[in-house]
């Protein structure tokens, strides 16, 4: 099975967090589950490293920026994210789904994925949801479900 880190992460997210199953506390249980699902050891280890980076970034200092500030993407970021995915990140920030801090964490986690190929819109959406669920302990379930609806909608949400 030729799968990448993002596939392992999506499997973990959809198997545990999205189905209200409890994520096992020990890595061995998760590792065993992932191996049984057909993922390679190398990709599993990279996924654990990615999740460790997400956990370490959980205590993000607040970014003091004007609401009129603009985020410009660095050349390497532009290589990983085309204008459509960049625009979607900015849409989520303007919609209140992402704070400036979470926007930066999403970009950080995208850049931490293996490979040099541009990230797809679906992969971006999964990264956004993983970041939101990891950094939203104070959010109620309805808010997270609303965010999930916005992120995974085929058309961007319209606000009146």
How confident is the model over 46-84, as pLDDT tens digits? 999 998 888 887 566 666 666 667 888 999 999 999 999
Rounded Cα gap, residues 98 and 113, in angstroms: 20
Rounded Cα gap, residues 50 and 7, in angstroms: 12
Domain boundaries, the chain: 1-56, 65-160
Q: What is the pTM of this model?
A: 0.79
Q: Are 95 and 150 in contact (CB under 8 A)?
A: yes
């Amino acid at each position: 099975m030729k799968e990448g880190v993002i596939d392992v992460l999506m499997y973990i997210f959809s198997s545990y967090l999205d189905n209200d199953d409890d994520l096992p506390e020990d890595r061995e249980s998760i590792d065993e589950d992932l191996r049984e699902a057909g993922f390679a050891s190398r990709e599993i280890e990279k996924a654990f490293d990615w999740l460790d980076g997400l956990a370490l970034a959980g205590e993000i200092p607040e970014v003091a920026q004007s609401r009129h500030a603009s985020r410009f993407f660095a050349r390497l970021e532009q290589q990983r994210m085309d204008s459509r995915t960049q625009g979607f990140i900015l849409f989520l920030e303007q919609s209140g789904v992402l704070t400036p801090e979470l926007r930066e964490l999403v970009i950080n986690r995208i850049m931490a994925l293996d490979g040099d190929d541009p990230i797809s819109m679906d992969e971006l959406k999964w990264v956004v949801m993983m970041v939101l669920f990891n950094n939203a302990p104070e959010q109620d379930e309805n808010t997270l479900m609303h965010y999930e609806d916005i992120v995974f909608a085929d058309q961007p949400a319209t606000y009146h």
